[in-house]
Structure 1
């Protein structure tokens, strides 16, 4: 994926999703090692009994066999059927029930419901067959009721827990996918908004140019420059037509206001309970209309977020120009207490702001520091071009 603003936005969402999905487990390999060691430590408790049983194993050899069986859990993500088959062998040979629990959990956890159910059925059938053969341990399940109350629940519970974890992973993956889709949609919507603003603002200038060229052509009728003015007017009309063909303009949607619309935004914010202080440099009004709409969008999103997440807190908006750079900043104090009800938010506003600013060669930063939340957008001023 190329390093466009949209791609970078999606990378940020994907990284956040991966961190949430992994949780405390920084390394799946480390989890597998801990799982194998846990299984071995439980099976080692049975070694004295295995050494006494008539199975031709000593305490040392029984430990080595159990260790080899537990080691198969290291492959439980890629080959979950391997520890399962080994567990069935140990079940028939040493009457060991510990490994089968870990194996059934792993199958449900990494292969889902179908594999988990099939493995559980296979385990129950195998265990019941062994139950009916001579040599089953007397104190494990010497009656059918004990078999049904001990051997069967062990497998069903282990597999059920694994399947539940598998479903939870699917839910987390779906949430991540929805977040990526929402981020992509936010970026696409902002690009569409930018395109419409370009259409309205540039189209208006092209119309003025065409009309002005026609007026000059009429005044220069019969003169040497009349043809040049006519060609200029025709070029402006063709450019406007190409703009209409390239960018789909919906007449029912208004163009984004410029800096003149910020006072109205401040009034809306104050009516919602968040007073706004604005400091706008006089030079900012000389910015191009497209840059003014970018500033308007950033301030609009900042005031909306402040009303949602810090209701009642005053907001300071500063728009200044220095060294050929436009700086638009919005600051508000973080609330001492969380809002009584969680705000309704899609979580994509920052992506929209960043897409708008980066599409014009600028940068946007947002974050909390020293009890304040600040959003800063830096853009080339473009004055004098």
Structure 2
């Protein structure tokens, strides 16, 4: 029973500490505590202030000090305002409490230079006031007392603020390093996942190629050249897919690998037609003179559109039109939507359209895709840039 009670007490105490730490970490709460602390310290001088200055009674002195301490609520954004009010209270009421909080705020939220300037201004103003009649005798009676009381107050307060500012900078740097470490960890994890994809999918593609070669030899041995050619073509497709997998995952960091351009677009159309998707291709002759980056974007859009058409509208004719003028490249791809969905649900991640849009927008273009009048339409427009002139 005693152990359970002790355990429950520890849980309650830990919850209380977490609650206090959570509230103490809120800047507004800390500022409010600073206001209350400063006002509590200054309120100890209210009887003496009322007696020394006939213009202030107890309530007036309380209101003035409360207004001065309330400026600490703005110390993060406007620390110089609190500093100016603190100097005013020094000259009017010879009150040194608020200036300590003000100098700390300058050093904490504006750094070393502001803290040093605040100290110099505070010492200069205090010294001038010390030379004038009326400075309270119990505060400083000689220059040595002035130097031993007024100056250390300002230096200590600003120094603590500057040190806290340095700690804030160190903490921010540590948080930035932690975020960087997390990003590196995520990238490392992605690299590992990519390696796994390469290993597993590459192995299956290898088996597919080997099996296709075996079936091709068997078909040729049986005298069926048509099936043998189809199996060989299937094996070649698997090997190309394996090569592409290597290019994307293994050699992704090699910038020397050229991106596909529009010169390989006819081959892509031919592959689509062999797979059963007729394609009507219309390419402006000026498209071949676009920059490699824009050619790669146009090629990716056309490639993804043909892939999507083969998945979701097999056998339907796809129209691909690439037009170029002085300022714009326009890719317009349409295909009729099938009257009935495909018998077999296509394998799709649903990210192809997003990938096309990102590719087009990365070069400053616009992208739109959707159903329209019984067809699926993709329109991508991107700036033509500087079209290279053909050399005769």
- Measured against the shorter chain, the TM-score band is 0.5 to 0.7
Q: Using a 3 Å threshold, how does the CA distance of structure 1 residues 161 and 55 change in structure 2: closer, same or farther?
A: farther
Q: Counterpart in 1 of 2:122? A: 123
Indicate conservation of the 8 Å contact 2:23/2:29, yes or no. Answer: no
**Distance (Å, rounded) in 2 between the aligned partners of 1:108 and 1:91:** 20
Q: Does 1:105 align with 2:104?
A: yes
1:246 equivalent among 238, 245, 248: 248
Superposed CA deviations along residues 156-201 of structure 1, whole A, max 9, x for unmatched, are 0011111111211222222222211111111110110111121122
User: Structure 1-normalised TM-score?
Assistant: 0.57
* Aligned alpha-carbon RMSD (Å): 1.9
Shift of 1:231: 1.2
User: Structure 2-normalised TM-score?
Assistant: 0.56
Superposed CA deviations along residues 244-298 of structure 1, whole A, max 9, x for unmatched, are 1111169xxxxxxxxxxxxxxxxxxxxxxxxxxxxxxxxxxxxxxxxxxxxxxxx
Q: Does 1:132 align with 2:131?
A: yes
SS of corresponding position for 2:124: helix
Q: Counterpart in 2 of 1:321? A: none
Indicate conservation of the 8 Å contact 1:92/1:130, yes or no. Answer: yes
Give the number of the structure with larger relative contact order, counting CA–CA contacts within 8 Å between residues 6 or more apart: 1
Shift of 1:55: 5.2
Deviates more, 1:52-61 or 1:159-168: 52-61
Q: Counterpart in 1 of 2:232? A: 230
Q: Does 1:39 align with 2:41?
A: no
Pairing 1:196-345 to 2, within 5 Å after superposition: 196-221=195-220, 222-223=223-224, 224-248=226-250
**Distance (Å, rounded) in 1 between the aligned partners of 2:233 and 2:26:** 68
Indicate conservation of the 8 Å contact 2:47/2:58, yes or no. Answer: yes
SS of corresponding position for 1:77: coil
**Distance (Å, rounded) in 2 between the aligned partners of 1:81 and 1:183:** 38
Q: Counterpart in 2 of 1:30? A: 29
Indicate conservation of the 8 Å contact 1:107/1:162, yes or no. Answer: yes
Shift of 1:24: 5.8
Q: Counterpart in 1 of 2:92? A: 93
| Long gaps (5+) in structure 2 | 1-17, 253-392
Shift of 1:59: 1.9
Q: Counterpart in 1 of 2:329? A: none
Shift of 1:23: 5.9
SS of corresponding position for 2:157: helix
**Distance (Å, rounded) in 2 between the aligned partners of 1:71 and 1:24:** 20
Deviates more, 1:210-219 or 1:230-239: 210-219
**Distance (Å, rounded) in 2 between the aligned partners of 1:136 and 1:238:** 92
SS of corresponding position for 1:247: helix
Indicate conservation of the 8 Å contact 2:50/2:58, yes or no. Answer: yes
| Long gaps (5+) in structure 1 | 1-18, 251-385
